[in-house]
Structure formats: C-alpha cells, structure tokens
Amino acid sequence: MVDKEQVIEALQTIRPFLQRDGGDVEFVDVDDNGVVYVRLLGACGGCPIATMTLKGLIESRLAEMVEGVTEVVEVE
C-alpha cells in the first residue's frame, strides 16, 4: 500500500518546477493499486504538454521516490 504522506512530500519537491512556469499540482488520492490521482492547476491545467508533464515529470519522479506508485492520473 502506498503511503499518502510520502506521495504528498514527493509532490512538494516537484511543485517548484511547475510553479516556475505558472502551474501547480494538487494531490487528490491514491488507490490500493498504487495509482496516484492529481489535479493540475494554473498554467498546467490547460497546457498542451500537460500529458508530458504528468507522465514525464510527475509520474517518473513519484515512482522513483515512493515505493508502490504505479501510475499518475489527472482528474478534474
């Protein structure tokens, strides 16, 4: 089972990169399969490369930092 607090702490290390470009990320939930649900905010919310940010930055970073994370999914 994925530790929610570890996910939140890991997201805190990613947020400055997003905020630099006017965006942000908000933790929503994590399920028993290791899927983390987040909401992209600000400039990230409607950005054409949001999927690359979500998978290339957020998902890869969380998978490295938090044991059990299998995927990151954006919710509205």
CA atoms within a 13 Å half-sphere pointing along the CA-CB vector of 27: 19
- Asked if pLDDT for residue 1 goes beyond 90, the answer is no
Regarding the domain delimited by 4-74, which CATH topology (the fold level of the hierarchy) does it fall under? Answer: GMP Synthetase; Chain A, domain 3 (3.30.300)
Neighbours of 60 (CB within 10 A): 13
pTM: 0.92
- Asked if pLDDT for residue 76 goes beyond 90, the answer is no
- Per-residue confidence band for 47, with pLDDT thresholds at 50, 70 and 90: confident
Domain residue spans of the chain: 4-74
